Amino acid sequence: MLAETFVSSVTEAVFGYILEHSGAAVWDRLQHPPEQRAFQAALRNAYTTFAAQHQPYVAALFDEHFLTRTAVPILARCLERDGPPDAVELAALWVIALNVPEAKRAERAAEVTPPAAAFLVALHTELRARDELRELFDSRAFDITAEATVQTAQNTNAMLAFLAEIRDLLRARGTEPSTYIDARHSQGFLNNPQAAVSQEYGSVPPSPAAQPQRTPRTVSNPFTAGPVVSPQHFYGRHRERRDISARIGALSPQGLSLVGVRRSGKSSLLRYIGERTGEFCGEEQHPIVVQIDLQQQRYLSPAGILEGLRRGIARATGSPPWQRDECDALCRDGWPGSLRDSGRRLLVLIDEFERITQRLAEFQDWGEDWRSKSTNSLLTLVIASARPLHEVYQSMGLTSPFGNELTTTFLAALDTADWQQLVQDGFAKAGETVTTTDLAWIDALAGGLPFYVQLAVSMLWQHGDHAPAQAAFEAQATPHCADLWRRLRPDEQRALQHAVGMTGRATPQPALVHRLQEYGLLRADGRPFSSVFAAYIRGSNEPVSQGDVGAMVLGLLPAHATGAAHTRMGTKRSALEAPRSSLAAPTLCSADCLARAAAVPAANWHGCNNRRSTGLVCCDSCRADKLWAGRAVFFVWVVRTAPLCLGV
């Protein structure tokens, strides 16, 4: 029988992953208890089915760390229509989690693949059978379809550009190509464009700028953009690791604050500290490491954090330091110093610290209490957040209680040698080398920030050549650029606009430029870290002041939207309603963006809605910015060439 805390932890991890990696169509689905309870019930039933058939594997597979971290992306894919994920991938991760020696992993993975497949099939079957999850499956399918539509358009444009280049080459040789290529050749161009052109026109010399075609690979893509990486796949951060070791491994340990933008590798570094503790603390210090991820709802209270601490200490020592029902009292009275007095060093690693802003009332005095515990050597804190701690507290109208207790380490871009080594090692698995042109292309797109490096090289691995890989990278990276932009302060946005040469932006103060470089958003020469991010910045505008922007949109779009309607699931509704909430106020859509949207022909506006969704209205300059306009609204994405309805 699965413990309820275990089931809840897996559910939170899976839904949190889907929330982070999905579009507007899915967001609302993940906020409702019925969907979460349905997932929990499906997981329990899948466990029962699996345990009856594969009892020897139960303890190893249903490990909390494995199913709430390593296997989360795979479990999330069980909520897609296309059937259960590939069991081979789960088996490969499983044997790594079991610490199987590398020489024996292939043999062991082959052994555990059938049980892994049985679990995934059971879970997917249970999920598909639940009425409460039907709309979530539908919404995820809409997101996937939208991504595929964008990708298809980009692939088509890339093919047309290729054909244009071929025609130019033929004309340079004095050969006049056909004025068109009919449909019977289209598949040939997609599969092997060079051979198809040769068949049509004779031999065509390769373009000097063309990249060499890479042979088909027999190994899986080794690059992963998004999930927390395991220590064996961790690269770089040598300087930061030395700083951490000098602080938490000192004779008198000192806590620290890790600060970095989203997807800068904070969670991966925390995991590295937790699993490679010997690099940071000596054996004589007998360290106990407890990791607390505030993305998990169960930790979003002082008592919840203490319960996580209690369970972590119990795992390390074999006995709990206090009983579960004592957590509330310990929040008030403090806990005993038995660990400190026995010579053990307690390291508490807290991720996503800014989440405490969601529970201000509960965490009002928590910081002072834990600062006191740190001062008295009851624990050593390592706190990861997207902003320095004093800014996190300032956003709540408070002063940071930690003061000088925690020193700050920023996670900027990886050193060039480190991210290049990551790329070279990955391609070496397929017996390939990476050219200097490849490395320059990756640098231009990613600038050394870990997520963008992994994304760029993953697209290069998948597509082989730069042009289609760049189109795929832009499609994947642009929403993340939008999210990154939305989280910046106005002065930071203006500084970045100045960096790309936008007029009317004052020269930023050197301290602000230095801070953006510490975040890795600006290079040493003052350019944005990524050409794609720079392009996004150039399309940005000054935000309008907060106000009833919902009314502004209604005033701009009545001819296009208010009369439109769509039918979905047998229900017909008006496409846009007046805002019903104060959430209609905050937005970063600029007035001229909305004016451009209003100028779009009525035929290009579309509405899609259902009975419980909220949505977005935005244009290509502010793709991720939210406009809440009531329950039954639609999501329209105006791209540079033509409006595209993605639906909700």
Residue 227 confidence class, pLDDT cut points 50, 70, 90: confident
Where is average pLDDT lowest: 226-240, 378-392, 427-441, 632-646? Answer: 632-646
Q: Helices marked H in 184-223 — which ranges?
A: 186-191, 193-201
Distance (Å, whole) CA 283 – CA 376: 22
What pLDDT was estimated at residue 156?
A: 72
Give the model's pLDDT for residue 570: 33
Task: Report the distance separating Cα 495 and Cα 506, nearest Å.
Answer: 8
Q: pLDDT tier at 76 (50, 70, 90 boundaries)?
A: confident
- Provide the mean pLDDT of the chain: 74
Which pLDDT belongs to residue 476? Answer: 92
Residues 10, 439: Cα–Cα separation, whole Å = 38
Radius of gyration of the CA atoms of the chain, in A: 27
pLDDT score for 1: 65
- Nearest CA to 86 out of 109, 55, 59, 103 is that of 109
| Listed range (290-304, 307-321, 446-460, 540-554) with the worst mean pLDDT | 540-554
264: pLDDT strictly greater than 50: yes
Distance CA 394, CA 360 (A): 12
499 — pLDDT class (breaks 50, 70, 90): very high
Q: Is 50 exceeded by the pLDDT of residue 614?
A: no
Per the structure block, which two tokens stand in for 585? Answer: 């106020």
At 272, the pLDDT band (50, 70, 90 cuts) reads: very high
What share of the chain has pLDDT > 90, as a percent? 28
Helix axes 510-518, 490-499, angle to 10 degrees: 90
In this prediction the pTM is 0.55
The distance of Cα 565 from the centroid of its chain, to the nearest Å, equals 33
Q: How confident is the model at residue 637 (pLDDT cuts 50, 70, 90)?
A: very low
The residue ranking higher by pLDDT, 374 or 442, is: 442
For 330-352, how does the pLDDT look when each residue is reduced to its tens digit (9 = 90+)? 655 555 567 777 778 899 999 99
Supply the pLDDT for residue 336: 57
Distance CA 451, CA 225 (A): 5
**For 230-246, what is the mean pLDDT?**
92
Q: Is the dihedral of CA 405, 411, 416, 420 positive or negative?
A: positive
pLDDT at 577 over 80: no
Q: How far apart are CA 96 and CA 89, in angstroms?
A: 11
- Percent of the chain topping pLDDT 70: 67
Token code pair at residue 5: 């805390």
pLDDT tops 80 at residue 566: no
CATH code, residues 231-410: 3.40.50.300
Q: Does residue 320 register a pLDDT over 50?
A: yes
Query: How many CA atoms does the CB half-sphere of 156 hold within 13 Å?
Result: 6
Q: Judge whether 267 and 453 are in contact, CB under 8 Å.
A: no
Residue whose structure tokens are 């229900």:
571
Give tens-digit pLDDT for 83-141: 667 788 888 888 888 888 888 888 888 898 999 989 998 888 888 887 776 766 565 45
Selected residue with higher pLDDT from 402 and 189? 402
Q: Is 504 left (phi over 0), alpha (psi -120 to 50) or beta?
A: left
Comparing 64-78, 96-110, 540-554, which segment has the lowest mean pLDDT?
540-554
Task: Tell me the two tokens of residue 445.
Answer: 């797109």
pLDDT tens column, 1-40: 678 888 888 888 888 777 666 544 444 444 556 778 888 8
Left, alpha or beta for 501 (phi > 0: left; psi -120 to 50: alpha)? left
Task: Indicate whether 297 pLDDT > 60.
Answer: yes
Domain range annotation of the chain: 4-140, 231-410, 416-538, 549-645
User: What are the φ/ψ torsions at residue 257 (nearest 5 degrees)?
Assistant: -115, 125
pLDDT of residue 315: 87
